[in-house]
Amino acid sequence: MLPRELKADQFSSYPSEAKALAVENLAVLRELPLSFIPSLLREVIEFDYKFPAERNALERELANLSHLSSTERSDLMQGFSSITVSARLEHFDWVNFPAQFVEQLSAHLWTTHQLDTFRLAANAYADCLHAAVPAQAPPIPRLGITVVGASVDSYREPLFRKLRPHGAYFSDVVPENGLEALLAAVAERAKVHARPYAHWYIDGGESVAHSPSLTTVSYAALDPVRAALLRKMHAEIEKPGMGPEALRTTMAQLRPVDLGLGAPGNDVLDRFQVKLLTEGSGTQIFSTSFTQWAAREALRRAEPTTLLVRFAPRQRQKPMNELLSPDAGSAELDPVGSLIDADMGAYYNWLNQQRLPGAEVSAFLAWFEEHNSAVVIGPTVPRGTVSNKSTDMKQLLSWIV
Amino acid sequence: MRPFDQISHAISRSRREFLRDAAGVTLGSTLLRSPLARAAAVSKNRKVVVITFGGGARDQVTFAPEGQGDVPNMMRNLIPRATFFTQVVNHGILGHYVATASLATGAYETINNFAGLPPENPTVFEYYRKELKRPSSDAWVVAPSNGFNHIGESSHRSFGPGLGARVILPKHLLTAAMGSGPANYEHLLRDNYETPYYTPELSGGEVELEQLENLLKLSVVDFKAHARTLSSPDELSVYIAKQLMRQVAPSLLWITMHDIDIAHAGTYSLYVEGIRRTDQLCAEVWKAIESEPEYSGKTTLLILPDFGRDSDEDAGGNGFQHHRTGDPLSRTTWLIAMGPGIREGVVHDRPVDSLDLVPTIGSMMGFSASLSKGRPITEIV
C-alpha cells in the first residue's frame, strides 16, 4: 500500500491519542513518501506513552508539515522521494507495524546501496525542521551530573580525559558527603522547577535515598524484569526457525505487563524501562551499558532539565550464553573495568546533553565517587584548566549552577 | 569533493600526521616505485596471509594519537616495516560476515548477514585455486564464529563447489573436542556479539574434529590442554593458524579476528581490551611468518579491519558500540602491507577501496580476479 491510499480506519488499532493524532493529520500523511512515513508513524503509534517533550516535538513536527504547501512539502521530501522501495516493502503492513518496517527498510537501504542517500535526506530534513520549528530551551539551564567508580579503591590512570578539554579539572575534591550534596542539589531543582519527567536520577546499581520528586530508574530495581526478559528470550530462541531478526521483532513487541511491570499510572516510565532492556544492546547483562543507554535515551526522549547518573560495577565478562542465562548465579563484579566503561559513559552523557537545546548555557559535572577527582563544564568555566586547590562538591556546584 | 570524501580525507590525514610523528614513516607520494617490489610482484613461491582486524575498530583506539597506547605492537614492530594506507573505504554493508565476504570476493556482497549463506561472487580462494590449479590444501580460512563457515567458497556457478578454501572454525572444533566432559573452555566459545543468541547450523566444508590430528598433527588432548591456557576466541584462532602454517603451510591463509566486536555489549573497557589483544595477535602472526621456514622471506602480510565503528559525533549512533549509521568513520579504515618487495615505513593517504584487496592479492600471486570490482593497489604489487 502507498501513503496516498491511507484511510482513517486503518489506524483503528492505535492507542486512543495516537489514533486521534494520525486521523487529524491524515491529509498530510497521505502526501509523504513511503521511505519516510513509517519513521513518523513509529513515533505516532507510541504517542500515548511518550514523554511531554516528545509529544510536544511530534505535534510541532506534524503541524509544520501541515502548514507547508504541497510544493514546499514535495521539495522537503525530495531526498526521500528519490529512494527506491521494493514491492515487498510496499506490501508490508507499515501502518500497524511501522517499527518493523523501518528495520526492514534499513536492511533494504544497505543492500541496495541507498543508505548514504537516505542519510543525506534525513540530515537535510532534520536541518529544515530545526530551522522551521526551533527546539525549545529548558526553563532553566540544563544540569548533567555523572558519578563514576563506585567500589573502586584506587585507580592510577588519568580519568575524564575526554571531558577535561571542555572544562576545569579538580584534583582535590573533598569526597565526604559528595553524593548527598549532589542529590540534594538535584532535589532542590526538582522542587523549585517542578515539571513531569524534568528531573531524573538513574542508578546502575541500587538507588540511594533520594527525593520522590525525581524520576528514578535503577538497574537493581529492574532485576526481576531482566530475569523475566531473559526467560522469554530463552523460550523464544528454542522455537524452530527463530533467528535474530524474529527475536528482535518479538522483543520489540513486549509490553510492561509481559515482564511484571504495568502498575496503573506508570505507563510512560514502564514502557521506557522495557524499551531500555528490549532495544538496548548489552543492557540486559551489563549495568554500565544499561546506565549509559538509559541516560542517552532519557536525554534524547525526555530532554530532562536535570539528570544525575550514577554508574555502578557491572558483572565480569563471561561467555555470552552464560551471561544471558536466566539461571546465572550471583555475579562476580569488575569495578575497574566498570570505571573505564563509566569514564567513557560520562563523556557520552555530556555529548548527548550538548545535543539538546540550550547547550550553550548548560552545565555538567563528573565525579569519581568517594575520590578527589572531578571535572566541571559550564559557560563560565575556563576550558582545559586544572585546579589543585582543595574544594568540595557544594562549591563545585555553586560555580556551574 | 563530496562531504563524505572530505571527512574520509580528514581522517586519513590525521592518521598520516600521527604516524609520521610516532613511527617515523614517510609519505608514499614522495617516493619512486620500488624495483624490488616489481621483481617480487609475481612469484610462484609467494605466500599471502590476510588478517581482518575485527570486528570493527575505530581510529580513537588504533591509529589516532589517543589510540597509540592500544596498538603498541603495530606501532613499534609492524608499521615501521610496512607500507600503510590511511584511507581504505568500505562502501558496502557494514555487517561482519557480509563485509568479510565482500573483502574476500572483491565485490560488495548483499547476502543476509545472519543467514549463513555463501558469497555470491567468486572468492579470492577460488580465483587462486582455479587459475593456478592449486590443491585445496593451499588455501585456508581460520574464522571466528560458526556464521563464517561458508566464507571459503561462493555460490557462483563458474566457480563454487570444490574450488574454495578449507575453513577451520576453531571454536567449533573446541566444542566438539569438549564433548560432554568438564567445561572449562566457555571463555573461548563466545560467538556472535551483535546477536548473541545466533548460532547457525553448520553445513559448510569446515574441518571436523577427526581431521585435527591428521591435518594439524595435533591430538585432541593436546588441543584441549593448550586451549585451557588461552583467554579469548581470537587467541584460539591464532593458535590454530600457527599450527596450520607449521603443518600445512598454505600459500593463501586468511585469518578473521572478532574479539573486538564485544563492543556491541556497550562496555568500553572490553572493547579496548579486544583491540589490545588483536594488536598483540597480529604481531604474533608476523613473528610466525618470520620464523617458519615455509613463510620466511616470501610472505606478504596484509592487515585491515573489515570496517570501523560509528563516530561519537553522529547522534544517530551510540559511539563505539555499533556500526549502524554508515557514517564516514564507520566506513573508513586502514591497511598494513608488509613483506618482501614492499617498502618499509611508507604511508599513503590516497583513497583505497575495500574491494581492491582481492585484485591486489591476485597481482601478487599471479592470478586474475576477473569478476572483482576492485583494482590492484599499485604501490604494493
Summarize pLDDT for B6-53 with one digit per residue, the tens: 656 666 666 666 566 666 677 776 655 444 444 444 566 899 999 999
Whether B265 and A293 lie within 8 Å, measured CB to CB: no
* CATH H-level superfamily of A143-223+272-400: Alkaline Phosphatase, subunit A (3.40.720.10)
Residues 299-328 on A with a CB inside 8 Å of B are 314, 317-324
CB pairs under 8 A between A and B: 107
Residue of A nearest to B93 (CA): A110
Which class is B3-380 in CATH?
A: alpha beta
Q: Is A357 on the interface with B (CB under 8 A)?
A: no
Rounded to a whole number of angstroms, the distance from the CA of B320 to the nearest CA of chain A is 10
Select from A319, A334, A343 the Cβ nearest to the Cβ of B187. A319
Phi, psi of B222 (to 5 degrees): -65, -40
Give the residue among B8, B9, B13, B15 at the shortest CA–CA distance from B65: B15
Where does CATH 3.40.720.10 sit in chain A? 143-223+272-400
CB B294 within 8 A of CB B49: no
Give the residue extent of every domain in chain B. 3-380
Q: pLDDT of B241-299, one tens digit each?
A: 999 999 999 999 999 999 999 999 999 999 999 999 999 999 999 999 999 999 999 99
Rounded to a whole number of angstroms, the distance from the CA of B200 to the nearest CA of chain A is 9
Q: Is B323 on the interface with A (CB under 8 A)?
A: no
Q: Is B275 on the interface with A (CB under 8 A)?
A: no
Residue of B nearest to A237 (CA): B197
Integer-rounded Cα Rg, in Å, for chain A is 23
- Residues sharing a CB contact under 8 Å with residue B226, sequence separation 6 or more, in sequence order: B239
B-interface mutation test, from A148, A317, A347, A353, most B Cβ less than 10 A away: A317
Residue of A nearest to B116 (CA): A243
Q: pLDDT of A16-64, one tens digit each?
A: 999 999 999 999 999 999 999 999 999 999 999 999 999 999 999 999 9
pLDDT of residue B189: 58
B75: DSSP letter: I
From first to last of its 381 residues, chain B has per-residue pLDDT tens of: 555 566 566 666 666 665 666 666 777 766 554 444 444 445 668 999 999 998 788 877 788 777 778 999 999 999 999 999 999 999 998 989 999 999 999 999 988 777 678 999 999 999 999 999 999 999 999 998 767 889 999 999 999 789 999 999 988 888 888 775 545 665 665 555 655 555 555 555 556 777 788 888 888 888 888 888 888 889 999 999 999 999 999 999 999 999 999 999 999 999 999 999 999 999 999 999 999 999 999 999 999 999 999 999 988 899 999 998 888 999 999 999 999 999 999 999 999 999 999 999 999 999 999 999 999 999 999
Residues 72-111 on B with a CB inside 8 Å of A are 91-95, 108, 110
Rounded to a whole number of angstroms, the distance from the CA of B193 to the nearest CA of chain A is 8
Q: Is A115 on the interface with B (CB under 8 A)?
A: yes
pLDDT of residue B15: 67
Residues 157-186 on A with a CB inside 8 Å of B are 161
Whether A237 and B326 lie within 8 Å, measured CB to CB: no
Indicate the burial class of A16 (C-beta count within 10 angstroms; 0-12, 13-18, 19 or more).
exposed
Rounded to a whole number of angstroms, the distance from the CA of A191 to the nearest CA of chain B is 31
Whether A289 and B325 lie within 8 Å, measured CB to CB: no
Whether B197 and A116 lie within 8 Å, measured CB to CB: no
pTM of the predicted structure, to 2 decimals: 0.91
Residue of A nearest to B115 (CA): A243
Q: What does each C-alpha distance from A26 to A32, A102, A269, A306 come to in angstroms?
A: 10, 20, 29, 36
Rounded to a whole number of angstroms, the distance from the CA of B331 to the nearest CA of chain A is 11
Q: pLDDT of A256-283, one tens digit each?
A: 999 999 888 899 999 999 999 999 999 9
Select from B91, B115, B269 the Cβ nearest to the Cβ of A337. B269
| Separation between Cα atoms, residue B98 and residue B261, nearest integer Å | 15
| Separation between Cα atoms, residue B21 and residue B25, nearest integer Å | 8
Select from A110, A336, A344 the Cβ nearest to the Cβ of B93. A110
